[in-house]
Amino acid sequence: MESTRNLLIEILEKNKNNYISGEQMSKMLGISRTAVWKHMKELQKDGYEIEGISKKGYKITQFPSKVSVNTLQWGSKTKWLGKTLIHKHSTGSTQIIGHQLAVEGTPHGTVVVADVQTEGKGRFDRKWHSSNNKGIWMSIVLRPNLLPNQAPQITLLAATVIADVIKSKTGLSPNIKWPNDVLINNKKVSGILTEMQAEQDRIQYMVLGIGININQSVETLANDIKASATSLRIESTIEWNIRDLIQETLAHFEQAYDSFIDEGFSPIKSKWESYAYMIGQSVRIKTFKKETTAQLIGIKEDGALIIKNEDGSHESLYSAEIQW
């Protein structure tokens, strides 16, 4: 059923500039014309706009922007990511659901998406503004066969994926601010929160939280982030299809994750460096122990940030904030 509908969407997408008859579709899908018609009705319920003209056939005029389990799974380009998918209209935080599901044994690649989060979380218990239908608020449960100290690599991988999606879909030029911010024109458009449950030598599970501001206007951004945050709409003046961007992000993530598992971190490191923010420049950096001025040099294979202190010494940081 699901794969028939996926195929149907694929056929409609390929033929979006012309009409395709019910008979052609029934032959291509190996189902009756009545069954084709029933699938069309289901698609329409989920926001696909399909024009049907007798003797000519069907043509899709609008893909849905509405986010639902159906619209995310139909037309999805992933093999394993998001096959278990939970969509909430409103929830405290998708991270909390991700942890609950992980503890209950949900499979690797489970995705939780919300239209609005009432208690979106950043790192160190900071707040993450997640307004209704204005962005991507989602968590991915992963069960990687990695050592706990490799977890930061997943954060960096996710940042390159988000930067890639933004660049390829919108043509904008994102940067990545170590470790977990994606910026456009020096303002934060996306943040990543990586949480995990681990034993000394094994990650039990990770919950990777991704927040991307999509359709906020300057007026609708919360006051405390107006000066520091942005959205794809603010930067491009275009309203974006959130469903499409979620699917795109999942497809890119799956590909990047699989190649990370096969080929290791090197290709991601190079890509990360191509997006890196302020590399080579002097910045203020705050760690738990100190606040200092240092030059950003790059990242290590394990994801640590390499800085050059004012006395010329190099240092690797695993937890720090680069100040604005």
Is residue 129 within the footprint of ligand BT5 (CB under 6 A)?
yes
CA distance 160 to 195: 18
Q: What residues does 212 pair with on adjacent strands?
A: 136, 190
Q: What residues does 137 pair with on adjacent strands?
A: 114, 211
Question: CB-wise, 5 or 134, nearer to ligand BT5?
Answer: 134
Binding track over 3-22 against ligand BT5, x by CB under 6 A: --------------------
Question: CB-wise, 70 or 117, nearer to ligand BT5?
Answer: 117
For residue 117, say whether it is annotated as part of any ligand binding site: yes
- Counting beta carbons within 10 angstroms of the beta carbon of residue 77, is it exposed (0 to 12), middle (13 to 18) or buried (19 or more)? middle
CB of 123 to ligand BT5, least distance (A): 3
Q: Other C-beta atoms within 10 Å of 247: how many?
A: 21
The one among 175, 213, 247, 249 contacting ligand BT5 by CB under 6 A: 213
Q: Are 109 and 82 in contact (CB under 8 A)?
A: yes
CA distance 16 to 62: 9
**Total of residues contacting ligand BT5 (CB under 6 A):** 28
The one among 109, 144, 191, 303 contacting ligand BT5 by CB under 6 A: 191
Q: Which amino acid is at 125?
A: D
Is residue 209 within the footprint of ligand BT5 (CB under 6 A)?
yes
For residue 41, say whether it is annotated as part of any ligand binding site: no
Question: CB-wise, 47 or 122, nearer to ligand BT5?
Answer: 122
Is residue 137 within the footprint of ligand BT5 (CB under 6 A)?
yes
CB of 120 to ligand BT5, least distance (A): 4
Q: Other C-beta atoms within 10 Å of 1: how many?
A: 7
CB of 155 to ligand BT5, least distance (A): 10
Stretch that binds ligand BT5, among 1-9, 46-54, 187-195, 307-315 (CB under 6 A): 187-195
Is residue 174 within the footprint of ligand BT5 (CB under 6 A)?
no
CB of 249 to ligand BT5, least distance (A): 12
Instruction: Match 């069907």 to its residue by tokens.
Output: 58
Is residue 229 within the footprint of ligand BT5 (CB under 6 A)?
yes
Q: Among 244, 253, 265, 262, which Cα is nearest to 108's?
A: 253
Q: At 206, is the secondary structure helix, strand, or coil?
A: strand
Q: At 238, is the secondary structure helix, strand, or coil?
A: coil
The one among 102, 193, 251, 296 contacting ligand BT5 by CB under 6 A: 193
Q: Where are the beta strands (DSSP E) in 263-304?
A: 282-286, 291-299
Question: CB-wise, 39 or 249, nearer to ligand BT5?
Answer: 249
Q: Which residues 289-318 are close enough to bind ligand BT5 by CB under 6 A?
A: none
Is residue 110 within the footprint of ligand BT5 (CB under 6 A)?
no
Question: CB-wise, 39 or 134, nearer to ligand BT5?
Answer: 134
Q: Are 216 and 236 in contact (CB under 8 A)?
A: no
List, in order, residues 6 or more apart from 117 with CB less than 8 Å away: 90, 91, 92, 93, 94, 128, 130, 137
The one among 138, 183, 196, 256 contacting ligand BT5 by CB under 6 A: 138
- Counting beta carbons within 10 angstroms of the beta carbon of residue 137, is it exposed (0 to 12), middle (13 to 18) or buried (19 or more)? buried
CB of 161 to ligand BT5, least distance (A): 14
Largest CA distance in the chain: 79
Binding site feature residues? 117, 188
Binding site feature residues for biotin? 117, 188
Q: Which residues bind ligand BT5 (CB under 6 A)?
A: 93-95, 117, 120-124, 126-130, 137-139, 180, 188, 191-193, 209-211, 213, 225, 229
